[in-house]
Amino acid sequence: MRSLLGVAVISAGLVVAAAGSFAQTPAPVKPVALSDNLPIPDAPAPKVSKAWLVMDYATGQVLAGENVDTPVDPASITKVMTSYVIAAEMAAGKVKATDPVMMSENAWRTGGAGTDGSYSGFEVNKTAPLEQMEKGMVVQSGNDAAIALAEHVAGSSEAFAQLMNAYAKKIGMKNSHFANPTGLTAEGHMTTAHDLARLGQAMIRDFPEAYAYNKIKEFTVGPITQPNRNLLLWRDASVDGIKTGHTAAAGYCLLASAKRGDQRLISVVMGDTSENQRAVDSLALLNWGFRFYDTHRLYEAGKSLATAKVWKGDENSVQVGVAQPLLVSLPRGKYDQLKATMDLPKSLTAPIAKGQRIGVVKVTLDGKQVAQAPLVAVTAVEEGGFFKRLWHELLMWWNN
């Protein structure tokens, strides 16, 4: 593999310059015009917290944070994982929104009004539609509803926790282990700020309808109406989720997300001092991220970025590009300073399948890599005829 020799950046967008048989095209995005190019101030770190971060939703890039991979008690933010499992099982056809979910005596005694935790108020030994029970869990943070849902989906909270851990692994939560669907303190029930941000990202991306429950400001069960505990829903119209948590062991926690224009950010604050302070600290992080960072789409999926020489094919070259859109989060005003290189083989031999991985494109800023993506064949190249293959065999021998 070799890195392309020429690199050029122009104000109209990112350009990868190439020599020899490689051609290039600029990214179609024009950078945002700014009146300044000042250094970015430090993120407003919470004065008291166990861990915190702010992350770009589109790229998964952590813009700032502390102790992001340190194990912490997630408290009721756990219920986002519970919601994800329920949504995934619904998508698989295993449960339905209309299913009657029983508020068992176990769920009522373990997570109901007689406990110290939050509860939804569904009547014991009676059923409610799954969708209503889930809203009681999401909006009211009902521990009783979370247990009842777990029992309905998997038979018991213990069996449901196994599903939680399987789905957590699937969505890339690398340092998490769940012991229950509620977030009540339990041995081994831990996660990290980074994993919670990944969970929020997955919930928004994979199940937007279920995610939308998180912006409901209040929910009524019987005679009891309870507000959503996420104070940011009242303080900033761009915030549309996601979940609070509090126990004596965890402190006050908040996983939040906001969308302004085309940009979405996710913040996590763990172990704060009060319900109000976790909202204040989270909003400060979101405001900082929106003010000082932009998300750029560098390359579109399936568009040709370069051509590579092909031997023994019905075509003498293959077009290469990225299989998925390549996005990057950057400090505002830094777009013009991006540099990109492509690592591609000196030559390729047919046949080449469409989508076949061929190389890699790397994007750097100030000498540090900020994005990377595989390069794949945008078009297929079939084998050439017998005489062309024979001729190319001779040329390849001669060149070597």
CB 244 within 8 A of CB 213: no
Catalytic residue of the set 50, 79, 312, 334: 79
Determine the Cα–Cα distance for residues 226 and 140; give it in Å rounded to an integer: 6
Determine the Cα–Cα distance for residues 92 and 210; give it in Å rounded to an integer: 15
Can you read off the two tokens belonging to residue 361?
């494109």
DSSP 213-252: GGG--EEEETTEEEE-S-THHHH-TTEEEEEEEEETTTEE
91 pairs with which residues across the strands? none
Beta carbons within 8 Å of 363's beta carbon, 6+ residues apart: 14, 298, 326, 328, 338, 339, 340, 369, 370, 371, 372
Determine the Cα–Cα distance for residues 242 and 102; give it in Å rounded to an integer: 26
Torsion over CA of 62, 66, 68 and 74, rounded to 10 degrees? Answer: -120
Active site residue 3: no
DSSP 172: T
Sign of the alpha-carbon torsion through 199, 72, 176, 88: negative
Determine the Cα–Cα distance for residues 385 and 398; give it in Å rounded to an integer: 20
Main-chain dihedrals φ then ψ at residue 361, nearest 5 degrees: -110, 135
Can you read off the two tokens belonging to residue 306?
């370069």
Q: Give the DSSP H/E element, type plus range, for residue 147.
A: helix 143-154
Catalytic residue of the set 49, 83, 118, 141: 141
Main-chain dihedrals φ then ψ at residue 194, nearest 5 degrees: -65, -45
Residue 58 corresponds to which amino acid? A
Active site residue 79: yes
Active site residue 30: no
Catalytic residue of the set 49, 50, 76, 267: 76
- Which residues does the annotation mark as catalytic? 76, 79, 141
